[in-house]
Amino acid sequence: NAGVTQTPKFRVLKTGQSMTLLCAQDMNHEYMYWYRQDPGMGLRLIHYSVGEGTTAKGEVPDGYNVSRLKKQNFLLGLESAAPSQTSVYFCASSYWGTDGYTFGSGTRLTVV
Amino acid sequence: QKEVEQDPGPLSVPEGAIVSLNCTYSNSAFQYFMWYRQYSRKGPELLMYTYSSGNKEDGRFTAQVDKSSKYISLFIRDSQPSDSATYLCATYNNNDMRFGAGTRLTVKP
């Protein structure tokens, strides 16, 4: 049972480039989330989804877009990367939300 | 003011010590409270979650919530070197989970 799988694990982008981070879960969870983690700031919610075909904005959505075309996948896109988006990105999923989240191992993104 | 405040530490204790980790939160709407453990360069993993006030015990770990003072605690008994990690508190309500910045704990053999 793989849980939550994130790809890629590392990436270096130049300012203005675009990329997509992929999150896949095999637990049949309804809810999926994208967070970024920065030193001293903790985890901050970027976007989330409460089911296939749905997305919603979180605390820090600017500069990011998401899609959930299939229940098991949640994609995070950066259309024009900026140095301020250098961070560690975590995907998480949950069945109810109230039962806690299962996190992936993260994607370390550096924008130069 | 952040929604969830947590002392970042670092906290260093000898093996076998009792560890107390604490958080405060500001929004009384939060009903669920959780603790996550995060090892270096790994994703957070759920340790415990509780609903409303009271205590919950799981092995060496005890989570405590006092909603009247908006205070969350995690106690670790007989701490082990393998407990060395960053501990994140979190509060949840209606698809909104807010995390503390984490307390870095080192348990020395």
A60: contact with B, CB 8 A cutoff: no
* Rounded Cα gap, residues A83 and A38, in angstroms: 13
Chain A nearest-CA distance from B78, in A, is 25
Which pLDDT tens digit goes with each residue over A20-57?
A: 999 999 999 999 999 999 988 889 999 999 999 999 99
Poorest-pLDDT segment among A36-40, B33-37, B43-47: A36-40
Is pLDDT above 80 for B1?
A: no
Report the residue of chain A nearest B43, measured CA to CA. Answer: A105
Burial B11-48 (b: 16+ CB within 10 A, else e): eebeeeeebebbbbbeeeebebbbbbbbeeeebbbbbb
Contact call for A90 and B88, based on CB within 8 A: no
Residue A8 contacts B where some CB pair is shorter than 8 Å = no
Q: Is the pLDDT of residue A93 over 80?
A: yes
